Amino acid sequence: MKKTNSKIKAIGMISGGLDSALVVKIIKDLGVEVFGLHFTLPWNVGKHPKATDIADQLGVPLKIIFLEESFLKMIQSPKHGYGSAFNPCVDCRAFNLAAAKKYMEEIGAEFVFTGEVLGQRPMSQMKNSLRKVENDSGLVGRLLRPLSAKLLEPTIPEQEGKIDRNKLFSFSGRSRSELQQMGRDYSIVDYIPPGGGCLLTDKNFGNRLRDSFQHGYRDLNDIISLRWGKHFRLSPKFKAIVGRNDYENRKIIEHAHNDDFIFILADENPGPTIILRGENPDDKTRVMAALLVKKYSKFRNNETKVIFWQKKDPQNTQVLLPKPIAEKSLASFKI
Ligand code: SF4
């Protein structure tokens, strides 16, 4: 009797990009019962993950894991170092795949698979890095990369004949055209573009995150707030966040702590909202925050009043009338 794969379960890592969607389709078409797994980075909490739409389209259940403190800890001292920004890609992959291994064992799945393509990314997808990820995650022999499988050592499910290696691929390098064509063939056209989406690869965001690690942060809200606005380290104890538009102004207030101070221009003049974070700011620090409000408004050279209040006490506003700004000195505080 012909051997059937219908009872085999596997965990498919779904990022929201094309490659991970393709491999879900490929492995599902081999008769494997696929369970999708997606990781949400701390600063992406609250955003609708594209992975959800892809899992729906491909008809697989999706488990979402929110990365929190342990992930932040890993970022601060990655065993394999960083890429060109603050992106510890090898450790990040291994961290997430270790969680996937746990899920695999919980539900009795046989392997985990990813959409990685050999040589597609300089840091995390070279042969050496793929091996490190496999070792560090504890998934030796149970981590299948269907798009490049024919260029890699056969995994246990391939050796056992549970996955037909002939039905897998030998993609390598950075070219995307064949993968995109495969996506169109499978009607997978709505996905996150390659390399789009991870703020750890953004140098500015990385600087802000480093600054939070150096000076301490209170909770995940502080980390989530790094997504919006311009950030200034006024002194080791105090930082200011400047909203760059209405949306950011609303978001930074929403994520402010109750004891943070909020600064805006007085008399309903349009301008940025500023959050001043840190305990008991002295007069000098308050004036600096007020100057930032002016600097990023169109009233920078006017004698314009700035009001501020503590978030938990919005009725109790205070007024400052800072002198026209000393731009250079403020710019030096930018993170
Ligand atoms: S790009 Fe970002 S999410 Fe992707 S592996 Fe690197 S650090 Fe992790």
Q: Identify the pLDDT of residue 2.
A: 45
Q: Identify the pLDDT of residue 7.
A: 79
Instruction: Identify which has the larger pLDDT, 323 or 131.
Output: 131
Give me the phi and psi of 92, to 5 degrees please: -65, -45
165 alpha carbon – ligand 1 mean position (Å): 28
Residue to substitute in 74, 201, 202, 203 for testing ligand 1 pocket (most ligand atoms within 8 angstroms of CB): 201
**Residue 13 exposed, middle or buried by CB count within 10 Å (0-12, 13-18, 19+):** buried
Cβ(124) – ligand 1 distance below 6 Å: yes
Residues in the chain, how many?
A: 335
Does 48 have pLDDT greater than 90? no
Q: Identify the pLDDT of residue 327.
A: 65
Cβ(89) – ligand 1 distance below 6 Å: yes
- Mean pLDDT value of segment 280-284: 93
Those residues with Cβ within 8 angstroms of residue 195's Cβ, 6 or more apart along the chain or in another chain: 201
Instruction: Identify which has the larger pLDDT, 129 or 330.
Output: 129
**187 HSE (CA, 13 A, CB side):** 2
User: CB under 8 Å, gap of 24 or more: what pairs does 324-328 form?
Assistant: 324/294, 324/300, 325/291, 325/294, 325/295, 325/300, 325/301, 326/291, 327/295
What is the rounded distance in angstroms from the CA atom of residue 132 to the CA atom of residue 97? Answer: 12
Closest ligand 1 atom to 90 CA: 5
Read off the amino acid at residue 224: I
For the chain, the helix, strand and coil percentages under 3-state DSSP, each to the nearest 5: 40, 15, 45
What is the rounded distance in angstroms from the CA atom of residue 206 to the CA atom of residue 85? Answer: 7
What is the rounded distance in angstroms from the CA atom of residue 5 to the CA atom of residue 9? Answer: 9
Q: Identify the pLDDT of residue 332.
A: 86
DSSP state of 179: H
- Mean pLDDT value of segment 79-102: 96
Residue with CA nearest ligand 1 atom 2:
198
Alpha helices in the chain, H assignment, sequence order: 18-29, 50-58, 69-76, 89-107, 127-137, 156-159, 177-185, 203-215, 220-224, 246-254, 283-295, 327-331
Does 5 have pLDDT greater than 70? no
What is the rounded distance in angstroms from the CA atom of residue 265 to the CA atom of residue 320? Answer: 10
Q: Which residues of 188-220 are buried (b: 16+ CB within 10 A; e: fewer)?
A: beebbebeebbbbbeeebbbbbebbbeeebeeb
Q: Give the percent of the chain with pLDDT over 70.
A: 96
Q: From residue 104, give the alpha-carbon distance in Å to each of 51, 98, 138, 167, 257.
A: 19, 10, 12, 23, 38
Q: Identify the pLDDT of residue 196.
A: 66
Cβ(50) – ligand 1 distance below 6 Å: no
76 alpha carbon – ligand 1 mean position (Å): 14
Judge contact between 152 and 185, C-beta under 8 A: no
Residue with CA nearest ligand 1 atom 1:
198
Q: How confident is the model at residue 302 (pLDDT cuts 50, 70, 90)?
A: confident
What is the rounded distance in angstroms from the CA atom of residue 77 to the CA atom of residue 172? Answer: 30
93 alpha carbon – ligand 1 mean position (Å): 7
Residue with CA nearest ligand 1 atom 5:
89
What is the rounded distance in angstroms from the CA atom of residue 287 to the CA atom of residue 282? Answer: 9
Which structural domains are found in the chain, ordered by start?
Answer: 9-196 (3.40.50.620), 228-331 (no CATH)
Q: How confident is the model at residue 326 (pLDDT cuts 50, 70, 90)?
A: low
Q: What is the pLDDT of residues 230-277, one digit of tens each?
A: 999 999 999 999 999 999 999 999 999 999 999 999 987 789 999 999
Residue to substitute in 39, 40, 87 for testing ligand 1 pocket (most ligand atoms within 8 angstroms of CB): 87
Q: Identify the pLDDT of residue 4.
A: 47
9: three-class secondary structure by DSSP: strand
Q: Give the percent of the chain with pLDDT over 90.
A: 83
Does 103 have pLDDT greater than 50? yes
Tell me the two tokens of residue 143: 């981590």
Read off the amino acid at residue 132: K
89 alpha carbon – ligand 1 mean position (Å): 5
Judge contact between 95 and 200, C-beta under 8 A: no
198 alpha carbon – ligand 1 mean position (Å): 6
Q: From residue 234, give the alpha-carbon distance in Å to each of 161, 231, 256, 299, 329.
A: 62, 9, 17, 22, 10
Q: Identify the pLDDT of residue 45.
A: 83
Q: Which of 144-148, 168-172, 179-183, 330-334 has the lowest mean pLDDT?
A: 330-334
Read off the amino acid at residue 88: P
304 alpha carbon – ligand 1 mean position (Å): 44
Q: Identify the pLDDT of residue 1.
A: 43
Residue with CA nearest ligand 1 atom 3:
198
Q: How confident is the model at residue 329 (pLDDT cuts 50, 70, 90)?
A: confident
Instruction: Identify which has the larger pLDDT, 124 or 148.
Output: 148
Q: What is the pLDDT of residues 306-319, one digit of tens each?
A: 999 999 999 999 99
